[in-house]
Amino acid sequence: MTVTLLIIGVTVAVSLAAWQRPTLFDALIYWPPGVARGEWWRLLTHGFIHADGAHLLFNMVTFYFFGRVMEQVLVPYIGAPGYALFYL
């Protein structure tokens, strides 16, 4: 469950930071023209930002319950780093 909690912490921190800085939000959101121009990080970073508090809360509560089960199942086979990569 350690990796799941770490992912939740990072997601909350990134979302809070993005809400405070709209330019950061714009740089992280999935935007196909940006990806086409080589901004490949948008393929990963869009999963760490959320539209508002309700969206963030719902997703993190859901991920907590689903993620801890998935972590218990996958970590014995692929390790904690493998689980983190699986999430990404």
Query: pLDDT tens, 24-53?
Result: 999 999 999 999 999 999 999 999 999 999
Q: In this model, does residue 80 exceed pLDDT 90? A: yes
- Residue 1 is predicted with a pLDDT of 74
Q: What is the mean pLDDT of the chain?
A: 96
| Contacts of 75 by beta carbon, 8 Å cutoff, 6+ apart | 3, 82, 83
The residue-averaged pLDDT of 41-66 equals: 96
In 1-88, alpha helices (H): 2-20, 22-28, 32-36, 42-45, 53-87
The residue-averaged pLDDT of 52-75 equals: 97
CA distance 34 to 42: 8
Closest listed residue to residue 16, CA positions, set 62, 52, 47? 52
Structural domain span for residue 63: 2-87
* AA letter at 8: I
Q: In this model, does residue 15 exceed pLDDT 90? A: yes
Q: Residue 48 has what DSSP assignment?
A: G
Q: How many domains are there within the chain?
A: 1
